[in-house]
Structure 1
Amino acid sequence: MSDFLPTGIQLSYLVAASLFIVGLKQLGSPATARNGNLLASVGMLLAIAATLLDRQVLNYEMILIGLATGSAIGAIAAQRVAMTEMPQMVGLLNGLGGLASALVAVAEFWRLIDASAPIPLDANVSMLLDVFIGGVTFTGSMVAFAKLQGLISGSPITFPLQQPFNILLLIGFVVGSGYLLVSPENVPLFLGVVAVSLLLGVLFVIPIGGGDMPVVISLLNSLSGIAASAAGFVVMNNMLIIAGALVGASGLILTQIMCKAMNRSLFSVLFGAFGTGGAASGGAGAAEIEKNVRSIDPEEGAMMLGYARSVVIVPGYGMAVAQAQHSVRELADQLERMGVDVKYAIHPVAGRMPGHMNVLLAEANVPYPQLSDMDDINPQFEQTDVALVIGANDVVNPAARHDAASPIYGMPILEVDKAKQTIVIKRGMSTGFAGVDNELFYKDKTTMLFGSAKDMVAKLVSEVKQL
């Protein structure tokens, strides 16, 4: 039995890793995403159970206390968090994952120091990488959380000689790590490189504006996986290495997809200081052009929608804030009963995290076939009678196509301005995350329906029923 146990643990890890891979594959489609999430969860349960059977795990009491405490906190947080705060939740979890990985390296370092045991070179390299990646992930994710939560400004925070200072810190970490490889027993120096990694995480995220938060969240998610993989090398756990590598690789792929959707390189995202976090734009030009905005009431909007042959609904962060997804589904159902062809146009970076709109619409049980991505729906806008924009901003701004001076120039957008009529539901004339005035609002074919998305959509439903 004792000989079989290590083999059984490794076989369990192999099965768990297979479930992770299949689960990730199924997460690529909305139709199979729930089943993929279930498979990955079963794989994680199997991996945890196998690890607890490992003879190296000695203190089950502490493990059970930690498991009970973490489960209770996680369950309460999951129940209380609003869908609009899900990006902050993801950022927070990314940060805690990075912190856990870094603490593994710190604990292993302390264990070897207390045991007066020599620290092997490979273990030392793994610990230093784990400390660096985990520390940057932790503090960087905390800053991203604070920006999204509004605890600090969503605008880029910069100071003179910021990048040279960051480079000096990075050089200091590399030099200190090199010295630790030669003299690993230097505790003050080890604590110093830990502090530098934490500081670098803060300085890494503060110059990134709200407009790039979806990309930052994806990147930090990837880093949390890489940190977990490094922790696996520290404690020599194959499952942790594999799971971390999968998270790291999938996060990098998602980051690349987000950058492509914004037509921006990862370098420009990290160092371009783009986005103001939604501050209203000013200037005389904006004030003058605002006079040409044409607003309507829900009754007029209902007539435009009810007598249309085709309607494309474009959800944005405003819909998420108002929790209007259920009302939007009700409106779509009512229009379909009247013979209107209804589709949803999903921009890859709409909202504050990748897939934000998909999650909200899935919560309202919107049928998957009605969801169309940007490349599929854009050629159809010219034949669309009404495009209904609910709280979206930068992702529908026509300036991205032609205004070379605009910060969002070149970013692929949903071309709602090509529809025969466009209705925009919005609280006011404030700008989006990029801080750019949206020229769509002033087009001749655009009408504005001012108010909360949930209230306005509910009124549209009521008026459509009376047609």
Structure 2
Amino acid sequence: MNMIDYIIGLSGLVASGLFIYGLKGMSSPVTAVRGIVIAGWGMAFVVVASFLQVFTLSPEAQAHLPVNLGLAVLALLLGGVWAGWRGRTVAMTAMPQMVALFNGMGGGSAAAISAVALMRHDTTDPLHLGVTVLGGLIGCISLTGSLIAWAKLDGRMKNPIRFPGQQIFNLLVFVTALGLGALTVMTQGQDAPDPHLFTLLFFLASLFFGLCMTVPIGGADMPVVISLYNAFTGLAVGLEGYVMADPALMIAGMVVGSAGTLLTVLMAKAMNRSIANVLFSNFGATSAKAAGPQGTMKSVDPADAAATMRYASSVIIIPGYGLAVAQAQQKLYEFVKMLQADGVDVKFAIHPVAGRMPGHMNVLLAEAGVPYDMIYDMDDINDSFKTTDVALVIGANDVVNPSARTDKSSPIYGMPILNADQAKQVFVIKRGQGTGYSGVQNPLFFLPNTTMVFGDAQAVLGKMVEALKALGTN
């Protein structure tokens, strides 16, 4: 056994270790970038080892490989160049849809591995075939479901598609996919006029179910849906790793699948809803009709709001998707540093499902250079609102909606929220008087201690910065 054989044999173990270590690094904002780089090196290592294994085969063995090496190299180059370019140029507002798209590609890759394995008729072992079919089913659901999530987040599909009896229809589609999967397993290795018919119908039904499962889900639930499909992709990759007898795929897939599942459960818990409720409840179907004015909104100029915060002792800032849309995170941090220079204690409060994807607001603030010790999770800061002079809400809605605590008829009743309404003074930077992404009206905007600052967040914060400059320092 030569050195190359040792490298190939250890490649799966080394890559798996790098994946796990990298994923652990992603658990903290401080080490997240390093974790991503480490996991990336793990992927690069296993890819190189795979090609090395192929190139060390004899010409006769290479001729019987089930892949076209030229196309594989071309796909790797095109995918790497495109993904690298998109990763560097994507706007922060488009980050959630890019994550959904890339996640869908992972699920699609797992489904493609399943399709190749089934088409080749390599085995008739029921367990092996069952795992192959299950991985294909989950990968297909992740692919089309993630594509629908991308369309919703990108504004290409603005409203959920719902119709009477939809859940029963979806169940029938799912049962059909399972039945076709069973027929695919049972007919493997048997003589038939068209041996691939059931396999083709199985993949079509699986892809269709992923679409049917996602189109009725409202945009407000997309962060949970993206996390769920990330778990699906990891599970599908792990199952297809078993099919290919590849330890790296098995370990990496299971780690990603379990981490994604845990994140999905935690996010659903943060909304006080079950995963089944997120997927099947048609959340928001009637909330938009029920929404309406609950009083009169008071408004103030940005300069007056800035002056109030300059003379406050403490300020808690709650960022939302509106901050990302306006690309105002840099201007916000400039404003924060000026407040700190005047002796104001400033903190950031992050809700687990703020934004359009898990950790969206953390990424947004990190891009602006906000120190990690200024950023607090909901459970760590919620009790502080009662003693805070000013809460500044920027482009957030549902995560600060007090209806979740007080209105049993509200669709979001019971969801843990940031207690911004308990601050002595609340300023809300908002472009207009409309409802949030879920379509639920927010009574916070009509409370006596709340004042609206209408306008684009970038423009409003710019005026606030200018107002502080005019006031000078203490």
Give the TM-score, by structure 1 length: 0.94
Is 1:108 matched up with 2:124? no
Partner of 2:300: 296
Partner of 1:265: 274
Q: What is the alpha-carbon distance in structure 2 between the residues aligned to residue 362 and residue 262 of structure 1?
A: 24
- Cα drift, residue 282 of structure 1: 5.9
Preserved contact between residue 313 and residue 343 of structure 1 (Cα < 8 Å):
yes
- Cα drift, residue 280 of structure 1: 9.9
Preserved contact between residue 208 and residue 275 of structure 1 (Cα < 8 Å):
no
Q: Could you report, residue by residue, the CA deviation over 1:408-439 in whole angstroms, capped at 9, with x for unpaired residues?
A: 00001010111110000000111112211000
- Cα drift, residue 80 of structure 1: 3.1
CA 1:139 to 1:162, structure 2 compared with 1: closer, same or farther past 3 Å?
same
Q: Could you report, residue by residue, the CA deviation over 1:21-47 in whole angstroms, capped at 9, with x for unpaired residues?
A: 122222111112122222212222222
Q: What is the alpha-carbon distance in structure 2 between the residues aligned to residue 60 and residue 423 of structure 1?
A: 59
CA 1:8 to 1:72, structure 2 compared with 1: closer, same or farther past 3 Å?
closer
Q: Among 438, 443, 455, which residue is 2:459 paired with?
A: 455
CA 1:350 to 1:459, structure 2 compared with 1: closer, same or farther past 3 Å?
same
Aligned residue for 1:431, secondary structure, equals: coil
The more displaced of 122-131 and 25-34 is 122-131
RMSD value over aligned CA atoms? 1.8
Q: Could you report, residue by residue, the CA deviation over 1:374-433 in whole angstroms, capped at 9, with x for unpaired residues?
A: 011111111111111000000001110010000000001010111110000000111112
Preserved contact between residue 389 and residue 424 of structure 2 (Cα < 8 Å):
yes
The more displaced of 129-138 and 164-173 is 164-173
Structure 2 gap ranges (5+): 190-194
Aligned residue for 1:53, secondary structure, equals: helix
Q: What is the alpha-carbon distance in structure 2 between the residues aligned to residue 399 and residue 10 of structure 1?
A: 58
Q: Could you report, residue by residue, the CA deviation over 1:263-302 in whole angstroms, capped at 9, with x for unpaired residues?
A: 11111001111136xx99466x834x34x21100012111
Amino acid paired to 1:37: I
Amino acid paired to 1:214: P
Preserved contact between residue 275 and residue 433 of structure 1 (Cα < 8 Å):
no
Q: What is the alpha-carbon distance in structure 1 between the residues aligned to residue 102 and residue 17 of structure 2?
A: 24
Aligned residue for 2:393, secondary structure, equals: strand
- Cα drift, residue 7 of structure 1: 4.0
Amino acid paired to 1:273: N
Q: What is the alpha-carbon distance in structure 1 between the residues aligned to residue 76 and residue 257 of structure 2?
A: 24
Q: Among 224, 232, 242, which residue is 1:233 paired with?
A: 242
Please show how residues 44-193 of structure 1 align to structure 2 within 5 Å.
44-55=43-54, 59-112=68-121, 119-154=124-159, 156-185=160-189, 186-193=195-202
- Cα drift, residue 233 of structure 1: 2.0
Q: Among 223, 232, 248, which residue is 1:223 paired with?
A: 232
- Cα drift, residue 251 of structure 1: 0.5
Q: Tell me the number of residue pairs that the alignment of Structure 1 and Structure 2 aligns.
A: 456
Q: What is the alpha-carbon distance in structure 2 between the residues aligned to residue 225 and residue 391 of structure 1?
A: 33
Is 1:274 matched up with 2:283? yes
Q: What is the alpha-carbon distance in structure 2 between the residues aligned to residue 20 and residue 105 of structure 1?
A: 23
Q: What is the alpha-carbon distance in structure 1 between the residues aligned to residue 298 and residue 451 of structure 2?
A: 5
Preserved contact between residue 287 and residue 411 of structure 2 (Cα < 8 Å):
no
Preserved contact between residue 114 and residue 136 of structure 2 (Cα < 8 Å):
yes
Q: What is the alpha-carbon distance in structure 2 between the residues aligned to residue 360 and residue 41 of structure 1?
A: 22
Q: What is the alpha-carbon distance in structure 2 between the residues aligned to residue 297 and residue 414 of structure 1?
A: 25
Partner of 2:292: 286
Identity of aligned residues (%): 47
Preserved contact between residue 388 and residue 424 of structure 2 (Cα < 8 Å):
yes
Q: What is the alpha-carbon distance in structure 1 between the residues aligned to residue 302 and residue 175 of structure 2?
A: 60
Is 1:21 matched up with 2:26? no
Amino acid paired to 1:35: R
The more displaced of 446-455 and 185-194 is 185-194
- Cα drift, residue 12 of structure 1: 2.3
Aligned residue for 2:277, secondary structure, equals: helix
- Cα drift, residue 177 of structure 1: 2.2
Q: What is the alpha-carbon distance in structure 1 between the residues aligned to residue 225 and residue 113 of structure 2?
A: 24
- Cα drift, residue 76 of structure 1: 2.7
Partner of 2:33: 34
Q: What is the alpha-carbon distance in structure 1 between the residues aligned to residue 243 and residue 72 of structure 2?
A: 19
Is 1:205 matched up with 2:214? yes
- Cα drift, residue 96 of structure 1: 1.0
Aligned residue for 2:315, secondary structure, equals: strand
Q: What is the alpha-carbon distance in structure 2 between the residues aligned to residue 77 and residue 119 of structure 1?
A: 42
Q: What is the alpha-carbon distance in structure 2 between the residues aligned to residue 179 and residue 314 of structure 1?
A: 53
Q: Could you report, residue by residue, the CA deviation over 1:38-79 in whole angstroms, capped at 9, with x for unpaired residues?
A: 221222222222222223776543332111111222123223
Q: What is the alpha-carbon distance in structure 2 between the residues aligned to residue 51 and residue 365 of structure 1?
A: 39
- Cα drift, residue 125 of structure 1: 1.6
Preserved contact between residue 94 and residue 141 of structure 1 (Cα < 8 Å):
yes
